[in-house]
Amino acid sequence: MNEFIVSPLQDMPSLYVVATPLGNLQDLPPRARDTLAAVNAIAAEDTRHSQRLLDAFGIRAKRLLAMHQHNEQQAAGQVIEWLAQGQHVALITDAGTPAISDPGARLVARVREAGYTVSPVPGACAAVAALSVAGIAEGGFRFIGFLPAKAQSRRTTLMTLANERNALVFYEAPHRITACVADMAEIFGGGRKILIARELTKLHEEIAAMPLSETGVWFATDANRVRGEFVLVVHGADVPNGVDAAALRVLGLLLDELPLRTAVRLAAEITGEPRKGLYAHALEQSR
Ligand code: SAM
């Protein structure tokens, strides 16, 4: 048993970073509900969206403040003012954990710099939910979040990740999902495994594991599959003896566009593989 049963609030005025459900309202923990009901103000990414969540739980916010990516610094000033008056403030975003590919990190940093306590009220996070069903027993993971929106920048970023041994966790928007997995198949290699976690905790939740080479067919099989929200968990690079297979694919792509020496130099910089091994492979390929 703990003291939150008496009051969800700390002794000193604090900022509570509260995770909210990804879709299924039953995923709002009791402590989150109690905290949102008890604080003097709630800073929310989208106040209209959050009002619906609060209404669903019968929580009447004493104050609601809009805090989004375009006004975060300004909102931080207001939150610090309230804390200075001895008030407690909660931060929520539209879904999941604030500050994870969401606004909130700047506000948190400003509040801590100002000397106030920042306390997490943990709960749903799409990346963690997807990882929990990915079945990746070995190694760690690297959270990437959203890739760049432009195709060329996305491909360049994927090239820099081709050699990563840890699993990679991405968020992706529906209108880019098929182009994104196609680029992954080309750059990481079709044999690399991926877990596609779609609409987690919602009515049309779908979780599928497959080699990257099969993702095109998987999406083409059902037009609904390109709709909704996605987390992609890609297994880490498998590095046998010699030059890593993913690095060789990066080299191959660069060799298509550039002179041999430049391609080798860039491939070494991008992938971290030794230049000598790459050079030998480049000579072989060019023959
Ligand atoms: N802060 C959130 C979190 O803790 O997961 C993430 C916010 S980010 C702006 C939104 C992205 O998270 C979506 O584009 C999608 O990639 C992922 N996401 C959010 N909800 C999801 C869900 N129910 N199923 C799958 N992915 C989801």
172 lines ligand 1 (CB under 6 A): yes
Question: What pLDDT score does 286 carry?
Answer: 75
> β-pairing, 141-146 with 167-172?
parallel
Find the 229 Cα to ligand 1 centroid distance in Å.
Answer: 6
Question: What pLDDT score does 283 carry?
Answer: 86
Nearest protein Cα to ligand 1, atom 19:
126
201 lines ligand 1 (CB under 6 A): yes
pLDDT tens for residues 61-105? Answer: 999 999 999 999 999 999 999 999 999 999 999 999 999 999 999
Structure tokens at 242: 């010699």
126 lines ligand 1 (CB under 6 A): yes
Nearest protein Cα to ligand 1, atom 16:
171
Tell me how crowded residue 20 is: count the other CB atoms within 10 A of its CB. Answer: 26
Beta strands in the chain (DSSP E): 14-18, 41-44, 64-66, 89-92, 117-121, 141-146, 167-172, 193-198, 206-211, 230-234
Is residue 153's pLDDT more than 90? Answer: yes
Is residue 137's pLDDT more than 70? Answer: yes
Is residue 249's pLDDT more than 90? Answer: no
Work out which ligand 1 atom sits closest to the CA atom of 201.
Answer: 23
Rounded average pLDDT over 157-175:
95
Question: What pLDDT score does 154 carry?
Answer: 97
Query: How far is the C-alpha of 43 from the C-alpha of 256, rounded, in Å?
Result: 51
Find the 253 Cα to ligand 1 centroid distance in Å.
Answer: 31
Structure tokens at 227: 């709709």
Question: What pLDDT score does 241 carry?
Answer: 53
Q: Cβ neighbours of residue 169 under 8 Å, at least 6 residues apart?
A: 127, 130, 131, 141, 142, 143, 144, 145, 231, 232, 233
202 lines ligand 1 (CB under 6 A): yes
How many helices (H) and strands (E) the chain has is answered by 11, 10
171 lines ligand 1 (CB under 6 A): yes
To the nearest whole percent, how much of the chain has pLDDT over 70? 96
pLDDT tens for residues 167-199? Answer: 999 999 999 999 999 999 999 999 999 999 999
Spatial CA neighbour of 266 closest among 148, 129, 108, 156: 156
Structure tokens at 8: 């969800």
Question: What pLDDT score does 4 carry?
Answer: 54
Rounded average pLDDT over 228-238:
95
Question: What pLDDT score does 273 carry?
Answer: 87
Structure tokens at 63: 């104050």
Question: What pLDDT score does 161 carry?
Answer: 94
Answer for the pair 165, 236: CB distance below 8 angstroms, yes or no.
Answer: yes
Give the DSSP H/E element, type plus range, for residue 75: helix 72-84
Is residue 225's pLDDT more than 70? Answer: yes
Structure pTM? 0.86
Work out which ligand 1 atom sits closest to the CA atom of 97.
Answer: 4
Question: What pLDDT score does 248 carry?
Answer: 86
232 lines ligand 1 (CB under 6 A): no
State the chain's mean pLDDT as an integer. Answer: 94
